[in-house]
Amino acid sequence: MTATLTPAPPVLDLPRPPSRRRETIAAIVAGAVILVSAATLDAGWARLLDLPRASWEYAVLMFQNPDWSKLWRALFEMWRSISMAWLGALLCVVLSVPLGMFAAHGVGPAWLRHGLRAVFAVIRAVPEVIIALILLTVTGLTPFTGALALGIAGIGTQGKWVYETIESLHDGAAEAVRASGGGRIAVARWALWPAALPSLMSFALYRFEINIRTSAVLGLVGAGGIGSMLSNYTNYREWSTVGMLLIVVVIATMLIDAASGALRRRIMEGARARGVDRIR
């Protein structure tokens, strides 16, 4: 009777598990930065416990009995803020759309593309309030200063949205224009612009929504509008008037957001055929 030898199982050369050393080090560094920032920040953390009570106290002062005697002036100042936001959005779109298109890959040359992107990054790094403070020395305490600040500050973000939208488009139409002998300008005009127009219009309306909120902040530094009125009455501790102003700001902002959102949905989705909803 002969014994049969069982072959030894093959030794599998399994790959080593991926190293997560970089992620671990990055998480430790981020946690250390947060802890050091919280420890060195000169803030009264104990006063946070009193925040709910103080918030309720000021809410009662502002909204228990709002002073509606200055409603018409508040509506006028709100209209100035809306005008400021609209002019700033127009200035931003007019400048950022062509610049953003030249910053897109395949449209502008490399030196111009990188230069424009650097300019957009620098503008995004400067808050609207700082731009308004710089412009105040030239244009004075007027709503036009706020409109200029909103327009200049929005170019950085709007330009980034434009070139990212252009670069996300399909290359079929652009290749067809190039195959027919078209240059960069022809590609941008006949292939990229029609395809990107709905998204760019939606971004322009969104920029207007952002400017509505920011215009109230710019009023705090003297740029005019409802923000200046809020700042003045807050300094004088007239909380009933401040409450009325906040109600006006909230209602106006919500109405504009609803109208702008409906327009943006109409632009992106297109008009529905009549009778479709009835059939459904």
Size of the chain in residues: 280
Residue 44 inside a domain? The answer is no
Q: What are phi and psi of 180, to 5 degrees?
A: -85, 5
Using a CB cutoff of 8 Å and minimum separation of 24, what contacts does 95-100 make? 95/151, 95/155, 96/154, 96/155, 96/158, 96/159, 96/162, 97/158, 97/162, 97/200, 99/155, 99/159, 99/162, 100/158, 100/159, 100/160, 100/161, 100/162, 100/163, 100/166
The mean-pLDDT minimum among 77-86, 177-186, 199-208 falls in 177-186
Residue 31: pLDDT over 70: yes
Residue 19 inside a domain? The answer is no
Among residues 203, 230, 208, the alpha carbon closest in space to that of 219 is found at 230
Residue 227 inside a domain? The answer is yes
Residue 75 inside a domain? The answer is yes
Return the residue matching tokens 């936001």: 85
The predicted pLDDT at position 63 comes to: 87
Residue 70 amino acid letter? K
Q: What are phi and psi of 63, to 5 degrees?
A: -115, -5
Residue 55 inside a domain? The answer is no
Number of domains in the chain: 1
The string of DSSP codes covering 36-94 is HHHHHS---GGGGGGHHHHHHHHHHHHHSS--GGGHHHHHHHHHHHHHHHHHHHHHHHH
Residue 12: pLDDT over 70: no
Question: CATH number of the domain that 224 lies in?
Answer: 1.10.3720.10
Residue 17 inside a domain? The answer is no
Among residues 92, 102, 214, the alpha carbon closest in space to that of 155 is found at 92
Residue 260 inside a domain? The answer is yes
Residue 14 amino acid letter? L
CA dihedral 247, 249, 250, 254 (to 10 degrees): 140
- Taking only the tens place, the pLDDT of each residue in 126-151 is 888 888 888 888 877 778 888 888 99
Contact 226/245 with Cβ under 8 angstroms? yes
Give the residue with greater pLDDT, 178 vs 99.
99
Calculate what percentage of the chain has a pLDDT beyond 70. 89
Q: Which domain holds residue 107?
A: 65-270
CA-CA distance, 56 to 77, in Å (whole number)?
27
The predicted pLDDT at position 247 comes to: 92
The predicted pLDDT at position 9 comes to: 64
Confidence tier at 215 by pLDDT (50, 70, 90): confident
Instruction: Give, rounded to a whole angstrom, the gap between the first and last alpha carbons of the chain.
Output: 83
Q: State both tokens at 59.
A: 């809410």
Residue 58 inside a domain? The answer is no
